[in-house]
Chain A
């Protein structure tokens, strides 16, 4: 019983404390322009581009970009939750502790997921107010569930990139590249059917793709049961990335101890 309590304590309290410590530099003057302002203008930019080219409706671009905006938190913060420990020279004491690695690992993703949901919700709200996007109120609960599943799977990709931070010197380069490539490959602004076969195949192996497809169907009136296949696929993709992230983290942890390279930058 005490082991379970300890696990839960590490998961919830440890996750929250590590988030506050690693992101203590975030204040409204940084958060608002970066996490709310940039996604808002991204939604406007691509919606107007779509209108200009006569490609799809406003709802297509609002949903695609609002869901994708959660990946900003998921990818960057997911990466930083691990890589920044190394940067701040706190990784060695952390790994010297007997803390359960799964609780340690997953607990850190909770605040990241919560932030991603907030950013996405802001994007949907802005789209509702500023563009021709008027989803029925009954679509909001299933839409929220789809966003939660999507941001969770994107966070798993962020953790995988963060695990690479145990070895790579510049993890933000990888996070930036992954973020922009997802904009192209995941059907955010270009329907998957318009992409070459190999690109849509790559997109289907990435988080976000199935989540966006599900969110678009839900926003146009489909029930949660009607998109359950897409949501489950999104969760399965996320679980695969989470497992890969955990495996890579453990492999690199052991290897870094052996090579004494934990704190070498």
Chain B
């Protein structure tokens, strides 16, 4: 019960905190609308048939990934800069219960991106919002957000070792958009790229949401999303535990 309370309160706190950040407003609200507009114009101008809803969902997921990447990638660094990292580490609850709600909150702010791009597409580009499986669409979204949040936990825990994590975040935005098939089908990419996409949650998240919206069988993709989320949670817990010990032993916790 105590753990659930910590997780819930932390998630709400970080969500409110992030929505007051100009940077997150840009990343999770404005940037996705700009990229969605580019995608809509490219899809319209292209010579191949296809629905703009495909582009709207892809652009929304791009926003969720950006919010997760920059939020989770910088999570520990920000705590260092603010001088709160040591207090959080020495607090009685295990650090995982403090950090996981933060990374899930960063993914949750990405929901603005998905809702924003769907609404933007509907209002400005006349994209129809007829969902083939409304219930599964409603299930696929939280499954995707949670799995991306836990992928963020893995990023946050491993980025502890990398002092310039923000630069790595800058690097990882476009490649993950590409290898997870958010706008470009994986079949167009070289064969060796596909296995990379398989271990990344956005691949299955976008597939689940698209198949729920456009028609298909979203359940396997939802299941894979949840499964990957559990794996990320375990991996993140192990990494965080190891790196926390290492930082304590070497007294490098507060070094920026």
A184 touches B184 (CB 8 A): no
Of B36-44, B197-205, B220-228, the one contacting chain A is: B36-44
| Chain B residues with CB below 8 A from A190, complex form | 38, 41-42, 45
Minimum Cβ distance to chain A for residue B67 (Å)? 14
A 36-65 contacts with B by CB, 8 A: 37-38, 41-42, 44-45, 48-55
A34 touches B171 (CB 8 A): yes
A184 touches B34 (CB 8 A): yes
Of B9-17, B138-146, B162-170, B234-242, the one contacting chain A is: B162-170
Q: Name 19 A/B residue pairs within 8 A (Cβ), A-sorted.
A: A29-B164, A30-B166, A33-B168, A37-B171, A42-B174, A44-B178, A45-B174, A45-B184, A48-B189, A50-B46, A52-B46, A52-B183, A173-B23, A176-B23, A176-B31, A180-B31, A184-B37, A190-B38, A191-B45
| Chain A residues with CB below 8 A from B45, complex form | 53, 55, 190-191, 194
B 180-203 contacts with A by CB, 8 A: 183-185, 188-189
B48 at interface (Cβ–Cβ under 8 A)?
yes
A140 at interface (Cβ–Cβ under 8 A)?
no
Give A55 to B44 CA distance when docked, in angstroms. Answer: 9
A170 touches B43 (CB 8 A): no
B26 at interface (Cβ–Cβ under 8 A)?
yes
Given contacts A41-B174, A55-B46, A184-B34, contact A194 B167 (CB under 8 A): no
| Chain B residues with CB below 8 A from A183, complex form | 34, 38
A120 at interface (Cβ–Cβ under 8 A)?
no
Given contacts A41-B174, A180-B31, A184-B34, contact A53 B168 (CB under 8 A): no
A173 touches B26 (CB 8 A): yes
B 29-58 contacts with A by CB, 8 A: 30-31, 34-35, 37-39, 41-48, 50
| Chain B residues with CB below 8 A from A189, complex form | 38, 42
A 63-89 contacts with B by CB, 8 A: none
B177 at interface (Cβ–Cβ under 8 A)?
yes
B46 touches A30 (CB 8 A): no
From the candidates A42, A54, A170, A180, name the one contacting B34 in the complex (CB within 8 A).
A180
A34 touches B170 (CB 8 A): yes
From the candidates B44, B50, B188, name the one contacting A194 in the complex (CB within 8 A).
B44
The 3 lowest CB-CB distance pairs between A and B, nearest first, are: A53-B46, A41-B174, A33-B171
Give A29 to B178 CA distance when docked, in angstroms. Answer: 23
| Chain A residues with CB below 8 A from B22, complex form | 170, 173
From the candidates B30, B38, B189, name the one contacting A177 in the complex (CB within 8 A).
B30
Further 17 A-B residue pairs, CB within 8 A, beyond A33-B168, A55-B46: A30-B164, A45-B174, A48-B189, A49-B183, A49-B184, A50-B46, A52-B183, A53-B46, A53-B50, A54-B47, A55-B45, A177-B26, A180-B31, A180-B34, A194-B44, A194-B45, A195-B41
Given contacts A48-B178, A55-B45, A184-B37, contact A34 B167 (CB under 8 A): yes
| Chain A residues with CB below 8 A from B34, complex form | 180-181, 183-184
Minimum Cβ distance to chain B for residue A250 (Å)? 27
A176 touches B171 (CB 8 A): no
Minimum Cβ distance to chain B for residue A74 (Å)? 17
B173 at interface (Cβ–Cβ under 8 A)?
yes
| Chain B residues with CB below 8 A from A173, complex form | 22-23, 26
Minimum Cβ distance to chain B for residue A65 (Å)? 10
| Chain B residues with CB below 8 A from A44, complex form | 174, 178
Minimum Cβ distance to chain A for residue B193 (Å)? 10
| Chain B residues with CB below 8 A from A45, complex form | 174, 177-178, 183-184
B58 to chain A: closest residue by CB: A49
Minimum Cβ distance to chain A for residue B76 (Å)? 17
B175 at interface (Cβ–Cβ under 8 A)?
yes
Minimum Cβ distance to chain B for residue A68 (Å)? 12
Minimum Cβ distance to chain A for residue B39 (Å)? 8
Report which residue of A48, A52, A170 has the largest number of chain B beta carbons within 10 angstroms of its beta carbon: A52
A49 touches B42 (CB 8 A): yes
Contact with B along A1-44 (1 / 0, CB 8 A): 00000000000000000000000000101110110011001101
| Chain B residues with CB below 8 A from A52, complex form | 46, 48, 183-185, 188
B27 to chain A: closest residue by CB: A176
A38 touches B173 (CB 8 A): yes
